[in-house]
Amino acid sequence: MNGDVVRQLIRQRIHDGRLPRHRVIELGFSSGIGQECDGCGASIEADQRMTVRICAEDWRTIRLHDDCFQIWDAERSLTARATGS
């Protein structure tokens, strides 16, 4: 998937609350097991690295491709600065 498209998806998911705006707690990294990435919506396959995090505010778990995590973290930081959170 195109990086700009992934960035837009992640921005939208942060904006509508499907992805958190605040920091998360790292649970671990592993190979994917076919679950949907909470960032881009694509499957995280066995040959891809997945990061699993938990939101400290509501304890929900998010699973992201490693690249999607990097984009989410950058976009979350920009959102937090723009809103003063």
Instruction: Tell me the pLDDT tens digit for each residue of 29-66.
Output: 999 999 999 999 999 999 999 999 999 888 999 999 99
Q: Where are the domains of the chain?
A: 3-83
Cα separation, 24 vs 76, in Å, equals: 11
- Cα 31 to chain centroid distance, Å, stands at 16
Centre a 10 Å sphere on the Cβ of residue 72 and count the other Cβ atoms it contains: 28
Q: Show the tokens assigned to 49.
A: 């690295």
Q: Note the pLDDT of residue 69.
A: 96
Helix ranges (DSSP H) in the chain: 3-15, 66-83
Cα separation, 4 vs 34, in Å, equals: 23
pTM of the model: 0.88
